[in-house]
Amino acid sequence: MIELFQKFILSEDVQNILNNCKNVIVPKTREELLALTFGNNTNDTFEVKYEVVGKGSVSEATVTRCKNGAVVNYPDDYMRRRDPDCLLVADELGTDKPRYDDVYKDDFNPLREATLTWLKEQELLVIPFMAGGVEYGYEALLLAPVNAAFFGAALADLQGFINIDKFEKEFTPKAVVYLAPPFRHTHFNGKQIVIHNRLTDLHEVFSYNLYPGPSAKKGIYGVLLNIGEKEGWTTVHASTVKVITPYDNEIVIMHEGASGGGKSEMVENIHRELDGRVILGRNTVTKEKNYIELIDTCELRPVTDDMAICHPAMQNESKKLVVKDAEAGWFLRLDHIKKYGTSPQFESIFTQPSEPLVFLNVQGVPKATCLVWEHTLDSDGKPCPNPRVILPRHLVPNIVNEPVEVDVRSFGVRTPPCTKENPSYGILGLFHILPPALAWIWRLVAPRGYNNPSITSSNAMTSEGVGSYWPFATGKMVTQANLLLEQIKNSSHTRYVLIPNQHIGAYEVGFMPQWIAREYIARRGGAKFKPEHLVEARCKLLGYCHDSLKIEGHYIRKAFLQPEMQAEVGTEGYDKGAEILVNFFKKELIKFDNENLDPLGKAIIECFLRDGSLEEFNQLIPMRY
């Protein structure tokens, strides 16, 4: 054991676990890890189960060996998507998150000791990885029972698997993930719970469930946010894509937003009908479809899918934000792929990958090919809304591995249909141009929006929280608000837009607005809009919109640019929707009334609360046209 871990500089608790457990496996290759996913035998199905006090043997997941990878399914519907309220903090450092002690009226230490003791009784899988990427990331470790190797394979693909034999220096983890699934039954009434315990030199993450979203992915996001808080930077919740126009011009767009806000879709090619046409929108009242012709679309070179690290070592003199992917693999949602041919490029990779993939919440038949449009059925007979695949970055075509300068930061919002009879906040036009000060406000509130498929929630409008990454953070909201404001101030040559998805007024549009906006902005050379081409949106929170917009020689109907022009909406429906939106923002922004907020931030929020003009926002942080 000592020889095995001679490169590791471990905490006393981790050393104690590894010295006393039944056995330790440190995989050296991805192939070895995937073999462990099936119990290191030739069986085509493997059941992950545990003995639970008072319940006997409890099945947590099944893993099926398919031609294209390991297919993981959970018997419990609830375990098939992330619970947004699963994070608790156990330490005494500053936080705005619920503390374990306060929620459960008990000290965390007994549970912590019980967890470490349980791990000592297991055969353990130990996976070293880099949180945040090899170049700018931080050394970290997973300790998990060997029978949960699929979880280890998921984390390894997401975060950057390390062969410790090839690591050229001592490995000193800044974070450790302890996986102990049975405790969700014995201590948390079956709920997903992830507990963060921030020690002086080590960030502990206690994962009490086997869905990797809250821990293997978002738990590590929380680790990066905590490190960034201490060092003065952040990791933004965003996809990033380099867009190359048919005329060989290049720009970089970074798309932020809450879960379901269109981050993965921003790096997808525009979706077309079988005859090649593009549906801009379908009127939910009249059922009329509106088409747009786009023959030559832009070439896409993906950079990030969900987490973009903004490490200070990457920033330069360009006055643009510089980002790099914080992940080694992408946790892609597949709910939009309902039939063959929806996303041909990715479907080809998923169906015939050059190496096996890890799928979740998709139907798997032993030794057959897993088809990503055959989603697992929930207990009500409906397809699970959160089917997933983990796609290693090196399998993504035309991937960009170097840091990139961001020309445009867009923000995505899931919007419901809006009509004068049923007004809602679905009043956003095709896309809006935001003054930097308003762009910061949108990142403070980060509406989770309508019909979110990724998490367990209602359709009511709620806030994802500051940065839209707040559900994964462990510290103080005001700290993240200040970091984002400083980022915006230091990136004066990066521009800001706001893009809806799902609906524009009465029109069902899916993710088409961001695909059209991407094509238009790229052709404009990075959103270099002239003031005379912009008009103030009827709702000031939405900044500016276009009076007219032409792409590839075709004008977009004004009803898509200014939804109040739709007969089904009108100014009556629009204004009621605007009132809903503005009142929601005012309620959420009160949370940032804090003495530690940057004075400029205070001025921006005060301006919004008193219904200040767009010119006033532009004076607070000048807008670059």
DSSP 498-522: EEEEEEETTEEEETHHHHHHHHHHH
Cα–chain-centroid distance for residue 137? 18
- Cβ–Cβ < 8 Å for 234, 310: yes
Cα–Cα distance measured from residue 597 to residue 481, given in angstroms and rounded to the nearest whole number: 8
**Residue holding tokens 């089917």?**
387
**Residue holding tokens 């502990």?**
204
- Cβ–Cβ < 8 Å for 49, 59: yes
Per-domain residue ranges for the chain?
Answer: 12-59+84-231, 235-321+406-595
> Strand (E) positions, 505-613?
507-510, 534-536, 544-546, 550-551, 554-555
pLDDT at 449: 76
Closest CA to 224 of 196, 191, 245: 196
The total number of residues shown for the chain amounts to 625
- Cβ–Cβ < 8 Å for 410, 433: no
CATH code linked to domain 235-321+406-595: 3.90.228.20
Instruction: State which H helix or E strand residue 543 sits in.
Output: none
- Cβ–Cβ < 8 Å for 259, 464: yes
Cα–Cα distance measured from residue 479 to residue 115, given in angstroms and rounded to the nearest whole number: 31
Cα–Cα distance measured from residue 267 to residue 370, given in angstroms and rounded to the nearest whole number: 23
List the structure tokens of 467: 């940065």
Mean pLDDT by 10 residues, the chain (625 residues): 73 95 95 92 93 94 97 97 93 97 96 98 96 93 97 96 88 97 96 97 97 95 97 97 92 92 90 87 95 90 96 94 97 90 89 97 97 97 95 95 97 95 96 97 91 57 92 96 97 96 96 96 77 90 94 91 97 97 96 95 97 96 86
Longest C-alpha distance within the chain, in Å? 74
Instruction: Determine how many CB atoms are found less than 10 A away from the CB of residue 338.
Output: 12
Cα–Cα distance measured from residue 147 to residue 155, given in angstroms and rounded to the nearest whole number: 15
Please tell me the pTM assigned to this model.
0.94
Mode of pairing for the β-strands spanning 175-179 and 203-207:
parallel
**Residue holding tokens 């809250």?**
214
CATH code linked to domain 12-59+84-231: 3.40.449.10
pLDDT at 341: 85
> Residue 39 to residues 34, 321, 383: CA-CA distances in angstroms?
9, 45, 28
Closest CA to 321 of 420, 421, 236: 236
The 3-state DSSP class for residue 59 equals strand
- Cβ–Cβ < 8 Å for 486, 379: no
